[in-house]
Structure 1
Amino acid sequence: MSSDVARILGAAARGEFPPPDGSTTIVAQPNGRDAGVLSFTAHSVVFLDEDPDWIRAELAAASTDPLVASMTPRFHAALMARTGRYVNAVDLMTVAGALPGEPGIALREIEDKEHPRVARALKYREEVRVWAADGGVLIMGRGVAGRMEVAVEVDEGVRHRGLGRALATAARHLTPDAVVWAQNTPGNARSVRTFQAAGYRPVGAEALLVAGQDDGPELLSGLSRLPQPA
């Protein structure tokens, strides 16, 4: 990962954040797919191949408070109208360090590229791998600026048994990188608690500008069917 966005995310994973000065940093998209807004404490990052003067004018019009302007519906609506993309959700960004050894849960990898879980994940991530467990699915792949991301799903009938936490923890053993990222919709409190119980810590928020049709919102916004941690 060599883009400005990758460097900003890498620093955040180490606990090094942009200055909390109420300003907004504007950088280029890391690739044609990834565009959006990152929000840290009192600092935002817009990664979008658009006129910086236009972006700053829209931020000023969105709110008189620079601390919240980048995450307002008005600013996101302006970005969508300008780019033809859409904002699926504002997500909580969380990150966790890699763990040694094998996962503490039995997993079987799904290698069929036509499998619905694999095919859908490939629309938004690269180097996708999917594992099945009894009652759940673990999905990993490279998303924004090449970061390794995890998503999990848990069947309705096996909730409240700690499976979501076990799958999220397994990703920390399986990641080839020093860290692994997860995105959680803040209103999905079960998902947030599950990933925090698995050692993922919040570092900020993000709103991605997604191109094309949305046929898997839960995959983009951080996994909607997670159990209460046991």
Structure 2
Amino acid sequence: MDGAKTLADILRAAERGVFPAPDLGLTVVPAPSGRECCVVSFTGHIVIAADVDPAWVAERVPDGDLSAPTNPPFLAALEQLTGRRVNAIDAMLLAPGLTDPAERTAATADLTELHDHDHPRVDRAWRYRDDVRVYGDPHGGLVLTGRGLAERLECAIEVPPTTRNQGHGRRLASAARALIPTGSSIWAQVTPGNAASLRTFLAAGYKPIGSEALLVK
């Protein structure tokens, strides 16, 4: 992939709507940090961001086989080589930040920033992200933002079981788009089997970009 030296380069380009060529190819770049490495799948192109020899990858991935890098045999070999484990294979969703001042104000009007980080969702966020900020709503919901994979802005939401199916999740996912600087984009990672969460983010204006298998310590 011409011009791509890091995973950050690739993800920042995706935020601008520029994606790897769908050439059935594979790109190997360094691990984005000491915290994680990953296999990222775009349409017609795979990116392996790990401190591995491209020749090692080529030995295990047949030319043009876009399924091999996200199948158990390859991921298990990558786990063993890197001393990490696959956390999940998630859909990557992306949305631009809200730009209209009135819309941004309305989206965050009932949120309060929280500084008590004892909630399990918050504890988990700090394991995978930096600069985590947490906001709560009057219904007990949470929206979190932080710097995750390759320093991209990421979000997560939590809706209490007693208040689900009332549109609160969609509102929180929309609020995340207003909690980031104007001109930025926000990513969300959703397990495809979590259909309710996937529908929530799609309804809030997020679009599928690809998938990722994150390997963590």
Using the size of structure 2 for normalisation, the TM-score is 0.89
Say which SS state the counterpart of residue 157 (structure 1) adopts.
Answer: helix
Residues 12-45 of structure 1 deviation map (CA, whole Å, 9 limit, x = unaligned): 1222111111110000112211311000111000
| Alpha carbons 2:90, 2:189 under 8 Å: kept | yes
Aligned-partner SS, 2:128: coil
Would you identify which runs of 4 or more consecutive aligned residues in structure 1 move more than 6 Å?
Answer: none
- In the other structure, the counterpart of 1:152 is 157
Matched residues, percent identical? 49
1:86 corresponds in structure 2 to 85
Q: Secondary structure at the match of 2:135?
A: strand
Structure 2 gap segments, 5+ residues each: none
| Among 11, 14, 31, the residue aligned to 2:13 | 11
Query: What RMSD in Å do the two structures reach over aligned CA positions?
Result: 1.8
Pairing of 1:1-230 with structure 2 (within 5 A): 4-60=6-62, 66-100=65-99, 101-102=104-105, 103-113=107-117, 116-133=120-137, 134-176=139-181, 178-211=184-217
Aligned pairs, how many? 207
Q: Is the 8 A contact 2:121 2:158 kept in 1?
A: no
> What one-letter code is carried by the residue in structure 1 that aligns with 2:188?
A
Write the distance in 2 (CA, Å) between the matches of 1:86 and 1:143: 17
d(CA) in 1 for partners of 2:96 and 2:17?
12
Give the 3-state SS of the residue equivalent to 2:215 in structure 1. strand
**TM-score normalised by the chain length of structure 1:** 0.84
The answer on whether the counterparts of 2:5 and 2:29 sit within 8 Å (CA) in structure 1 is: no
**What's the offset of the Cα at 1:90?**
0.9
Deviation at 1:114, TM superposition (A): 5.1
How far 1:135 moved relative to its partner?
2.7
- Cα pair distance change 1:125/1:43, threshold 3 Å: same
The answer to whether the 8 A contact 2:108-2:179 is kept is no
Residue 110 of structure 1 and its aligned partner are, at CA, apart by 1.0
- Once the two structures are TM-superposed, the CA of residue 58 in structure 1 deviates from its matched residue by 1.9
Q: Distance in 2 between matches of 1:49 and 1:163?
A: 41
Q: Distance in 2 between matches of 1:170 and 1:51?
A: 41
